[in-house]
């Protein structure tokens, strides 16, 4: 398949690809869904180790705290990969880069499956994290292959794939790990990653790298873009704040459900996360609305939804069936608002200079992950400071979410009023 086949008709060459596509026929739609699956496989490699920590600890005869270093290693590696590898999407042919990353990740997963000791597994996991950044590479590439009027729906579809990988990998990792052992999970992930590499090699069209900059310049560019592009700063600030509140809630809800208010096991947290798999079906819809109404309109709805989610989640402090229902409804509303807002923010930054899309995405996602890390820490500390296992601790976490989203909502509405006055 060539680039022009993704839209069914030819367009004039642009800065990002040999021939950017304009619309979408059946083949183009199929390509987008293949890329969505590739994103899911890659993102799943970051999250399935979370379900294997107890099994890894038992396998090596170490505590769960020591075994959790595997999760930390893959997450730190992923953050490093975003910063160090994703900018290469503007310098290296996308198909070549994706096949190389997926191939290297598959090899690292096999090394993890055969690891003779925990330190080797930790090292292999770090390599998995660095090399499994296919999703942040695919997003900018896809934005350059489709008409600007379809970037929202395509971005939403790709995000659905990533969400599916994040949610399902935890569930499948736990089920397969319990039945066949944690090594089988890593081996299975290696096979899936290899299949994804083959699929990319066969179906992803050839593109022309938009930049000839040297690697040091590519690494420095995200910081320059943040300084130069106000719309990038705005999108990054929106996502960092909302993702911080999101992370605070998911850290706090784990403490709430396993604490005295509910007295449930860790499996309840996983079940709650699985309920939110419905978000996968919402992001493509959000993408279509972004294409029709623009990013600002969708951001407004999403920010209102996130603030509202904070109010619903606060009812979780009541405990019992009422509280549990509130947690299910509130986390679902929060997930939909956060992820749909992410689609709007990414479409906004993809309207900026096309030759730097990968570096724009690097800057944006780095800010988002910094916000998420701060939110996770804040959620745990606020929960403990406000009463720990009691309802007051959970109300404090909900206050963090409402406060962060409320500040961004006020900023967003203020910008709208300023624009109308002009």
Classify domain 1-212 at the CATH topology level.
Growth Hormone; Chain: A; (1.20.1250)
Looking at per-residue pLDDT, the higher value among 18 and 273 belongs to: 273
What mean pLDDT is predicted for residues 176-200? 90
State how far the alpha carbon of 234 is from the alpha carbons of 143, 159, 231, 252, 409, in Å: 20, 20, 5, 27, 12
pLDDT at residue 198 above 70?
yes
State how far the alpha carbon of 265 is from the alpha carbons of 37, 59, 258, 271, 382, in Å: 31, 22, 6, 10, 22
% of the chain surpassing 90 pLDDT: 30
Task: Show the tokens assigned to 181.
Answer: 């052992």
Q: Please provide the distance, in angstroms rounded to a whole number, between the alpha carbons at the two ends of the chain.
A: 47
Band of residue 7 on the pLDDT scale cut at 50, 70, 90: very low
State how far the alpha carbon of 285 is from the alpha carbons of 145, 202, 243, 307, in Å: 20, 29, 20, 21
The Cα angle at residue 320 between residues 316 and 326, in degrees rounded to 5: 35
Q: Give the Cα separation of 271 and 87 in Å (integer).
A: 36
pLDDT at residue 22 above 60?
no
**What average pLDDT does the chain have?**
81
pLDDT on residue 57: 82
pLDDT at residue 25 above 70?
no
pLDDT on residue 416: 62
pLDDT tens for 270-287 read: 677 777 777 777 777 888
What mean pLDDT is predicted for residues 49-68? 77
Q: Give the Cα separation of 306 and 409 in Å (integer).
A: 10
Q: Which of 65-74, 107-116, 316-325, 352-361 has the lowest mean pLDDT?
A: 352-361
CATH 1.20.1250.20 boundaries in the chain: 1-212, 217-422
Q: Which CATH architecture has domain 217-422?
A: Up-down Bundle (1.20)
Q: Which DSSP letter does residue 387 get?
A: T
pLDDT at residue 163 above 80?
no
pLDDT at residue 19 above 50?
no
Q: Give the Cα separation of 311 and 309 in Å (integer).
A: 5
- pTM for this prediction: 0.70
Q: Give the Cα separation of 131 and 125 in Å (integer).
A: 10
pLDDT on residue 257: 82
pLDDT on residue 148: 62
What mean pLDDT is predicted for residues 359-363? 83
pLDDT on residue 330: 95
What mean pLDDT is predicted for residues 187-202? 93
């Amino acid at each position: 398949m060539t680039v022009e086949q993704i839209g069914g008709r030819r367009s004039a060459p642009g800065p990002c690809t040999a021939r950017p596509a304009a619309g979408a026929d059946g083949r183009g739609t199929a390509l987008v869904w293949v890329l969505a699956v590739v994103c899911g496989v890659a993102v799943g490699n970051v999250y399935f180790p979370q379900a294997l920590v107890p099994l890894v600890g038992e396998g090596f005869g170490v505590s769960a705290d020591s075994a959790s270093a595997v999760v930390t290693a893959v997450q730190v590696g992923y953050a490093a990969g975003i910063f160090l590898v994703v900018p290469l999407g503007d310098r290296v042919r996308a198909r070549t880069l994706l096949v190389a990353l997926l191939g290297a990740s598959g090899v690292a997963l096999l090394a993890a499956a055969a690891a003779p000791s925990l330190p080797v597994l930790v090292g292999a996991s770090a390599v998995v994290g660095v090399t499994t950044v296919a999703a942040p590479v695919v997003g900018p590439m896809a934005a350059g292959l489709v008409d600007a009027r379809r970037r929202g729906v395509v971005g939403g579809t790709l995000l659905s794939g990533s969400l599916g990988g994040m949610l399902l990998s935890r569930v499948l990792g736990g089920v397969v790990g319990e039945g066949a052992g944690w090594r089988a999970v890593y081996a299975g992930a290696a096979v899936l990653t290899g299949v994804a590499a083959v699929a990319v090699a066969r179906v992803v069209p050839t593109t022309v790298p938009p930049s000839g900059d040297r690697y040091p310049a590519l690494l420095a560019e995200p910081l320059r873009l943040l300084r130069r592009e106000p719309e990038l700063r705005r999108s990054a600030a929106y996502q960092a704040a909302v993702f911080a509140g999101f992370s605070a809630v998911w850290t706090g809800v784990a403490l709430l459900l396993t604490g005295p208010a509910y007295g449930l096991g860790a499996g309840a947290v996983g079940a709650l996360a699985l309920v939110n798999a419905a978000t996968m079906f919402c992001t493509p819809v959000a993408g279509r609305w972004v294409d029709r109404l623009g990013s600002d309109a969708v951001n407004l709805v999403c920010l209102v939804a996130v603030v509202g989610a904070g109010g619903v989640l606060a009812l979780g402090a009541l405990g019992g069936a009422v509280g549990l229902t509130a947690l299910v409804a509130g986390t679902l509303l929060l997930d939909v608002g956060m992820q749909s807002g992410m689609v709007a923010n990414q479409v906004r930054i993809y309207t900026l200079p096309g030759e730097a899309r990968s570096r724009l995405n690097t800057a944006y996602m780095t800010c988002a992950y910094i916000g998420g890390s701060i939110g996770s820490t804040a959620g745990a500390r606020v929960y403990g400071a406000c009463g720990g296992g009691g309802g007051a601790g959970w109300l404090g976490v909900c206050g963090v979410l409402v406060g962060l989203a409320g500040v961004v909502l006020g900023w967003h509405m203020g910008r709208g009023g300023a624009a109308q006055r002009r």
